Amino acid sequence: MKEFYYRRAPDVPGAVALLDADPHARYLAGGTNLVDLMKCGVERPARLVDVRHLPLDRIEPAPDGGLRVGATVTNSDLAAHPDVRSHYPMLTQAVLAGASGQLRNMATVGGNLLQRTRCAYFTDTTKPCNKRTPGSGCPALSGEHHNHAILGASESCVAVHPSDMAVALTALDAVVHYETAHGTGELPLERMYLPVAGTPHRETALPAGALITGVSLPPVPVAARSRYRKVRERASYAFALASVAAAIDIRDGIVRDARLAFGAVASRPWRARAAERALIGAPATAETYAAAAEAELRAARPLPHNGYKVTLVRNLTAAVLSELHEEATR
Ligand code: SF4
């Protein structure tokens, strides 16, 4: 591992000032992804600015009736919070579906959103990779890509975003708050992740040196009945082959509101807007749920070895919506 300087940030302004002074520095929080990437040589920062102890570890009610979650709240604390469990159950389920108990105790909300892809070529510095070394090529296109993207990918990169939490937060219209040396800002999470296009090394729209300070969850009444379902290759812990975050409100046999997002199908959490449009106002039937999944997956462009994901997401979506339907009409 390359040698680096370590510095505990004195406070948020001090943290962003340190990054402003050294654009090659990195923020360190739980370290559950960054430290691994440093060990394998993908990340080689000369300086780490430790932000874990900053006072950003609260979950508080927001004036609009939603929640404000600090960036250094651990995954475990987020999943266990009573307001998250009761108002946004898909979020608790998504967080608990990610990683192991030990990792969730260390990993933070801000770090989770910024974790990098687990594409095996990305973490193998002996291989070319456009995301790691722009212009070097994408061996996954003709190589191992059974867990790569089916939606929104490009010839430059077909990697998927690994976060479970971010899928639920995308379905819930979460907003990311950040601070730089030049002030504060916010971005809807859905817009924070950039389309992959020809620049897969540019992953977010956050300004240079931005420190994520928190995430806002608006009130989402439909989310009180919601679910996150993840399919993975082993039950203990693993990244998703596909996942679905879903919420649905049914009254008088009609779908009145719905939220839907897919995980592990694209370079970012995939908000299934076409499916939501197909659901809202339609009869609450199994046919509607299947048609909604189909509406979203028309845009799928699978690779030779990941076409199974189209079937998997279609079936997963229909199954989760049917389960929520049963709960709502019981
Ligand atoms: Fe790199 Fe993306 Fe290709 Fe993986 S899919 S090798 S991350 S460019």
Identify whether 17 is part of a domain. Answer: no
Q: Which domain holds residue 234?
A: 222-328
CA proximity to 165, closest of 156, 178, 155, 174: 174
User: Closest ligand 1 atom, CA of 129?
Assistant: 1
How close is the Cα of 164 to the center of ligand 1, in Å?
A: 20
Q: What residues pair up with 215 in beta bridges, in sequence order?
A: 69, 176
Classify the phi-psi angles of 65: left when phi > 0, otherwise alpha if psi is within -120 to 50, otherwise beta.
left
Classify the phi-psi angles of 209: left when phi > 0, otherwise alpha if psi is within -120 to 50, otherwise beta.
left
Mutation pick for ligand 1 pocket among 116, 127, 133, 158 (CB with most ligand atoms within 8 Å)? 158
H/E element, 243: strand 240-251
Mutation pick for ligand 1 pocket among 131, 141, 154, 239 (CB with most ligand atoms within 8 Å)? 131
User: Closest ligand 1 atom, CA of 127?
Assistant: 6
Per-residue pLDDT tens for 31-64?
Answer: 999 999 999 999 999 999 999 999 999 999 999 9
Identify whether 290 is part of a domain. Answer: yes
Taking CA atoms only, the protein residue closest to ligand 1 atom 7 is: 122
User: Closest ligand 1 atom, CA of 121?
Assistant: 6
Q: How many CB atoms lie within 10 A of CB 139?
A: 17
How close is the Cα of 127 to the center of ligand 1, in Å?
A: 10
Per-residue pLDDT tens for 236-267?
Answer: 889 999 999 999 999 999 999 999 999 999 99
User: Closest ligand 1 atom, CA of 138?
Assistant: 3
Number of structural domains (the chain) is 1
Residues lining ligand 1, CB < 6 A? 117, 119, 121-122, 129-131, 138-140, 148, 157-159, 200
Identify whether 96 is part of a domain. Answer: no
Per-residue pLDDT tens for 3-34?
Answer: 999 999 999 999 999 999 998 999 999 999 99
Checking if the pLDDT of 199 tops 90, the result is: yes
Checking if the pLDDT of 235 tops 90, the result is: no
Both structure tokens of 202: 């540019």
Identify whether 264 is part of a domain. Answer: yes
- Of the chain, the percentage scoring pLDDT greater than 70 comes to 100
Give the CATH number for residue 233. Answer: 3.30.390.50
pLDDT band with cut points at 50, 70 and 90 for residue 1: confident
Identify whether 88 is part of a domain. Answer: no
**How many contiguous H segments (helices) and E segments (strands) does the chain have?**
12, 12
- Write out the DSSP string of 22-51: -TT-EEESS-TTHHHHHHTTS---SEEEE-
Tell me how far apart the alpha carbons of residues 53 and 72 are, in angstroms, rounded to a whole number.
8
Taking CA atoms only, the protein residue closest to ligand 1 atom 2 is: 157
**Global confidence as pTM:** 0.97
Identify whether 151 is part of a domain. Answer: no
Taking CA atoms only, the protein residue closest to ligand 1 atom 1 is: 129
How close is the Cα of 117 to the center of ligand 1, in Å?
A: 9
How close is the Cα of 250 to the center of ligand 1, in Å?
A: 41
Contact 230, 243 (CB under 8 A): yes
User: Closest ligand 1 atom, CA of 159?
Assistant: 5
Both structure tokens of 28: 């360190």
Tell me how far apart the alpha carbons of residues 7 and 210 are, in angstroms, rounded to a whole number.
17
Per-residue pLDDT tens for 143-153?
Answer: 999 999 999 99
Identify whether 158 is part of a domain. Answer: no
Identify whether 286 is part of a domain. Answer: yes
Q: Residue 236: its pLDDT value, please?
A: 85
How close is the Cα of 130 to the center of ligand 1, in Å?
A: 6
Both structure tokens of 59: 């979950």
